Amino acid sequence: MGNRKPSPRPSPRERGGREEPSRVALGARSLAWDILRRVEEHGAYADALLGHALASSQLATRDQALVTRLVYGTLAWQGYLDHLIATFSRRPPHGLDPPVRALLRLALFQICLLSRIPPFAAVDTAVELAKRFRGGAAVGLVNAVLRRAAEGWQAVRFPSPGEDPIGYLTTRLSHPRWLVEDWLVHYGFDETEALLRANNEPAPTVLRVNRRKIEPATLLARLREHGYAAAPTAYSPVGIRLEHAGAPEQLPGYAEGLFSIQGEASQLVSLPLGAQPGQRILDACAAPGGKTTHLAELMDDRGEIVALDVHARGIRRIERMAHRLSLSIVHAQTADALAAAGRFDGVLVDAPCSGLGTLRQHPEVRWRRTPADVAGLADVQRRLLLHLADSVRAGGTLVYATCTLNAAENEETVAAFLQARPAFAVDDPHRLLPEPARELIGADRMLRTFPHRHGLDGFFAVRFLRHD
């Protein structure tokens, strides 16, 4: 027996253990965790944090796309994930340190909702990351909760859609109760369920091509040559849809001003204004500048666009965007739209709103908004419309737009405005939209887009014509 050769040392996997998480795997998840912590603890917005972090990271495009998916997915499914934490942890989610809670959500999202990531990999990387928090004080908790969840999450009970439809939609589909209740009144159960599911899906990156510099087909071919999965958008004639884009600023042609980053629905709501070269246009709530610069491109950079925003930082962003796109007619001013004066051929009121139509792009918003917010914003929107109506010349146009699906901010605001300003009437925008987008206009002549119906963010727009 003493002459027996020692057996080769078994690998970690043969011993029932795990390979050490790779540096890249840890790097991507560490970045996602850091962003989630800042969203949770400081009220930051994920899209802004991601844009800055990815642009300065050394991650490959595939890993940048993973970070984006992890952040948006974890935020979108937060209610569902907290239900799981409450099931497998001896401490409720609200009793956990915010960084630990964010790390558990991040790992559970990978275990339960990303089939391409093995559960053991999600658990192991989360445990490694936990070692970085307070000297590893939470390692035991993170390891225990995640290992229990990895074995038992599929058997967790949720409210029944038949017996408790609001509880089911709120918990299983991860939306705040007040919002579910509001949408059930307006859309019914089946459509609300479809809407909530669509809100939890990742939104694509969409480009708006600057046709003053390049044609969409040419830019599309260029992107494909560089290996990007790109396709024309369904409704916007100048849109390109990208999958797994990574940091948009790193895309070929960005520095040259060949395109802007702008959602497809957002591109559509500028069109009903019917802005023409040589006109004088007011964009009353202009930052970050996507619609302002789109209008300037539609006007072939001839005429004048006065772009207002109350924040100097927003104005600087508009100016940088206009410069990159080689647009000279944009005159950005730090000013309150409620103090705007002068007469214009067209006025765009892209009003401050709850943003509840953009939950694919801004999933954290659902957890921050309240019914009181919606009521307060509706009041602001009505005051803006009433004041800015005086800036529209006789025969001119006024477009009111939001990125929300709530009637208080949309149809009810429009009804109140028409009652107070009889000189204005809703005008049919069909002729101003490309053929595919005309189906988005309702019988009431108002433009609406929905994530579950059209694959677009939820936007609303109405064109008014002044008759006196």
pLDDT digits (tens, 9 = 90+) for 377-425: 999 999 999 999 999 999 999 999 999 999 999 999 999 999 999 999 9
**62 — pLDDT class (breaks 50, 70, 90):** confident
pLDDT digits (tens, 9 = 90+) for 239-276: 999 987 677 888 999 999 999 999 999 999 999 999 99
- Residues 447-468, mean pLDDT to the nearest whole number: 97
Residue 109 has pLDDT above 80, yes or no: yes
Share of the chain above pLDDT 70, in %: 94
- Give the pLDDT score at 21: 64
- Residues 130-144, mean pLDDT to the nearest whole number: 96
pLDDT digits (tens, 9 = 90+) for 9-56: 333 333 344 455 666 678 999 999 999 999 999 999 999 999 899 988
Domains of the chain: 23-155 (1.10.940.10), 165-199 (no CATH), 205-261 (3.30.70.1170), 264-466 (3.40.50.150)
Residue 2 has pLDDT above 80, yes or no: no
**18 near 120, Cβ under 8 Å?**
yes
In this structure, of 22-26, 142-146, 297-301, 335-339, the range with the lowest mean pLDDT score is 22-26
Share of the chain above pLDDT 90, in %: 89
What is the C-alpha to C-alpha distance for residues 108 and 74, in angstroms, rounded to an integer? 8
**104 near 126, Cβ under 8 Å?**
yes
First-residue to last-residue Cα distance in the chain? 107
In this structure, of 57-66, 257-266, 451-460, the range with the lowest mean pLDDT score is 57-66
- Residues 97-103, mean pLDDT to the nearest whole number: 97
- Long-range contacts of the stretch 150-159 (C-beta < 8 A, 24+): 150/111, 150/119, 150/120, 150/122, 150/123, 152/88, 153/84, 153/88, 153/108, 153/111, 153/112, 156/83, 156/84, 156/87, 158/83
pLDDT digits (tens, 9 = 90+) for 162-183: 999 999 999 999 999 999 999 9
**260 near 322, Cβ under 8 Å?**
no
CA separation (Å) from 357 to 22, 63, 179, 408, 448? 38, 28, 12, 13, 10
- Give the pLDDT score at 22: 66
- Give the pLDDT score at 102: 98
Going by their DSSP bridges, the two strands 330-334 and 424-426 should be labelled as unpaired
Q: What are the tokens at 43?
A: 């009220």
- Residues 132-160, mean pLDDT to the nearest whole number: 96
Options 112, 285, 353, 403, the catalytic residue: 403
- Give the pLDDT score at 24: 64
Burial of 191 (0-12, 13-18, 19+ CB in 10 A): middle
Residue 355 has pLDDT above 70, yes or no: yes
- Give the pLDDT score at 213: 98
- Residues 217-239, mean pLDDT to the nearest whole number: 97
Q: How many residues are listed for the chain in this entry?
A: 468
Beta bridge partners of 205: 242
Pairwise pLDDT comparison (14 vs 65), residue with the higher score: 65
Selection from 314, 305, 261 nearest residue 283 by Cα: 305
| Backbone region of residue 246 per phi and psi (left: phi > 0; alpha: psi in -120 to 50; beta: other values) | left
- Give the pLDDT score at 20: 54
- Give the pLDDT score at 61: 83
What is the C-alpha to C-alpha distance for residues 349 and 324, in angstroms, rounded to an integer? 24
pTM (2 d.p.): 0.92
- Give the pLDDT score at 56: 87
Residue entry with tokens 């078994």 = 10
Q: What's CA 122's distance to the chain center, in Å? A: 25
Q: Is 285 a catalytic residue?
A: no
Q: What value does the mean pLDDT of the chain take?
A: 93
